A = this chain, B = another copy of it.
Amino acid sequence: MAKYLQDFSNGPLDYYRKKASFDWKKMKVFLFTEEVVEFKQQVYKELQEHSMFIPQDILSTPSFEEQRKISAARTVNLLKLPSFSLDKIFANVKFQVAKLKIMIDLDPSATIKNSIAYGMFPSAIQGLGTDRHTDYIFDSLSGKIIGAYCLTEFGHGSNAKSIQTTATYDKKSKEFILHSPNFEAAKCWAGNLGEMATHAIVYAQLIMPGGINHSMHPFIVNIRDPDTFLPYPGIIVGDMGEKIALNGVDNGFVMFNQYRIPRVNLLNKNGDVTEEGKYVTPYKDPNKRHGASLGALSVGRVVIIGLCSTYANSALTVAIRYAAVRKQFGPEGGEEVSILEYQSHQHRLIPYLAAAYILQIFSEYIGTVQFQIILDSFGGIQNEQSVELGLELHAISSGGKPLAGWIVRDAVQECREACAGHGYLKAAGLGDIRNSNDANCTYEGENHILIQQTSNWLLKFWPLILNGQQFKFPLGSVDFLSNAREILNSKFTCKSVEQFAHPENILKMYQWLVCYLLKNSYEKYETLSKTMDPFWARSESQVYYLKNLAIVYIQHFMIQRTYITLLESQDPQIQAVLTKITALYGAWTLEKHIPTFYEGGYATGSGLVTLLHSTVLNLCKDLKNDVVALIDVIAPPDFLNKSVLGKSDGLVYKHLEDAMLRRPGATSRPSWWKEINEWNNASLKSKL
């Protein structure tokens, strides 16, 4: 078993590695499966054969132009990697998840560009178009054309329905005329559009002769001549310029000036204009057609959950390994000790390591579910439960993506601070991870807006609960609601840290939170609706109610999935450490919900707070000797590990020394050194 995994070289991390309570290789195989571990090792081998796939020098940021070129080259060339060929990837749905995470470790910008051009773009055509669009799918899958996806406009993001781009049908020429009435209607943020896209899916209000607006529809639009990469006349397309990070992605904007496209370029699965010039749709309710048309977006959110998980693993790798090696202070007269030994440092990092594990397991699970649906769709397989699965997955991805983004935002920040000054170096790698992850809180749905999809879905269940309905959904995320009444009558009963730390007890507390917040949110919303527009009633029910409801629902599901997973292990050591991780994540996240427990009468007195605090601190201490081995399981391989502080050899100061002295010009005068005294002297002169 695990024959592909090599031992780490000896060094300062040995101390903790030897103290681990489990075998990291066995854990790795348990979490990923033997085939996936083997697949990843093979991909690493292939990547290292091409200098293009070796990360840039971590000491300095390449110029904007260079970043663009590097990511573009990787975007296209990743298609060529033998292990990433369609037949290899389709052999095991888990390979798709593994491929995504490896690409992220290599280059987040190239991953995003690659996923849009060769994943999202053909998927969307498959989902939105019909037979007449099949060539676009094959051309993009083979890299012949490069696609972008244009929905957002400068003036409209979350409220996509109100976009202002129009596609007016011209009966005579059988063409649509695309037009941007003003700058706010310009499409923006579309990845690949800035410099490379030859084609784009563009959403526009479909206007029929006489001015009837059939609301927004997707069109396929030629953007640039694939031979010259010049835009076609009638199109102003450009690049949005520098961003906080992910500067390898050419996010673009485009304005249409009465730009004509053939009728057949309408992606017509959910609405069409016939050759005779008649609008037809299988949907009576335009809102339903709209929903069907946006369904293709869920995969983007699942991909982001994978991005988040990968970032968390990389950041924790740096901070945990550094905490094990870095020594500072110690008892009077004694030696200095690793900062990992301090309660404060344990409490800063170990709960986030637990969160990284929860996200690791959750992202693999939800990625597998999502990619299986896509594979089934390409293979023409219809799942019996597909409608309910679609709704449940929509709710989970719409809440899971925000939660993952926020968890990792906070985790990476804590890792940065926990590495103190040296963590502020570019070469520590944490700034880049943070700045890249930052986008995860926004794209594919601004977190606070997107998560309302989840609470809206849950809110509908309260009347059903009152009617005694039983819940049985494909992914099992709300099945406990069948017992909502009993759950609401339950109270906090744990008497010891051991009881509190049992995942089943933590799940019970979360179930109470979901039921309580569901009931209260529903009642709040209903009460407000009597005196105000439902739109405002919904808005006024967000804080402390609907937002928290969505969050506890997702937290419960993540813990539930981790618990189900760990029970599948046959290895008592692995089960033991994963149980602690689950309990720590659960107890630690429950802290933020303590007010709700007291508000709802679930707890009285000091017991819950005292036990919760002790549970968190005990688990941190308990896990302290395992954290280095836990990192070894999820760390990126050294050649993709972009941090001088986080290498597997633990030689922090050697790598720092190298980083300080190796940089060209590190010890020479700046080119403008003579000017310093000119400034100084002018200063003196001006005072004379």
Chain A residues within 8 Å of B, Cβ to Cβ:
59-61, 63-65, 68-69, 72-73, 76-77, 79-80, 142-144, 146, 152, 154-159, 162, 183-184, 186, 188-189, 195-196, 226-231, 236-245, 250, 253, 328-332, 334, 336, 341-345, 347-348, 409, 413, 416-417, 420-427, 430-431, 435, 438-439, 441-443, 446-448, 533-536, 539-540, 542-544, 547, 591, 594-596, 598-601, 603-606, 608-610, 612-613, 617, 653, 656-657, 659-661, 663, 665-667, 669-673, 675-677, 679-680, 682-684, 686-687
Chain B residues near A686: list those with CB within 8 A.
80
Are B675's CB and A73's CB within 8 A? yes
Number of copies of this kind of chain in the complex: 2
Knowing A65-B671, A413-B409, A670-B65, the reply to whether A241 touches B424 (Cβ < 8 A) is: no
Are B431's CB and A435's CB within 8 A? yes
Knowing A543-B617, A676-B229, the reply to whether A683 touches B64 (Cβ < 8 A) is: no
- The chain B residue with its CB closest to the CB of A532 is B331
Are B73's CB and A679's CB within 8 A? yes
Are A241's CB and B59's CB within 8 A? yes
Chain B residues near A64: list those with CB within 8 A.
60
Are A660's CB and B431's CB within 8 A? no
Knowing A424-B243, A660-B253, A683-B76, the reply to whether A236 touches B157 (Cβ < 8 A) is: no
Are A417's CB and B443's CB within 8 A? no
- The chain B residue with its CB closest to the CB of A239 is B666
Chain B residues near A250: list those with CB within 8 A.
670
Are B229's CB and A669's CB within 8 A? yes
Q: List the 6 shortest-distance A-B pairs measured between CB atoms, nearest first.
A: A244-B431, A242-B426, A238-B667, A331-B535, A599-B609, A76-B679
Nearest chain B CB to A396 CB, angstrom units: 21
* CA A665 to CA B332, docked complex, whole Å: 62
Knowing A63-B63, A159-B328, the reply to whether A606 touches B599 (Cβ < 8 A) is: yes
* CA A609 to CA B594, docked complex, whole Å: 10
Are A425's CB and B240's CB within 8 A? yes
Chain B residues near A547: list those with CB within 8 A.
344
- The chain B residue with its CB closest to the CB of A672 is B69
- The chain B residue with its CB closest to the CB of A431 is B244
* CA A154 to CA B195, docked complex, whole Å: 43
Residue with the greatest number of chain B CB neighbours at <10 A, chosen from A144, A241, A666? A241
A-B contact pairs, 28 of them (CB 8 A): A63-B63, A69-B670, A72-B679, A73-B675, A142-B684, A154-B422, A162-B336, A226-B677, A238-B666, A239-B665, A241-B427, A243-B424, A244-B430, A331-B533, A331-B535, A331-B536, A343-B539, A343-B542, A347-B542, A424-B442, A544-B617, A595-B595, A596-B609, A598-B603, A598-B605, A598-B609, A600-B606, A601-B606
* CA A76 to CA B425, docked complex, whole Å: 25
Nearest chain B CB to A597 CB, angstrom units: 9
Are B425's CB and A243's CB within 8 A? yes
Chain B residues near A423: list those with CB within 8 A.
442
* CA A687 to CA B65, docked complex, whole Å: 30
* CA A573 to CA B389, docked complex, whole Å: 56
B230, B344, B669: the one within 8 Å of A195 (CB): B669
* CA A229 to CA B596, docked complex, whole Å: 63
Are A80's CB and B683's CB within 8 A? yes
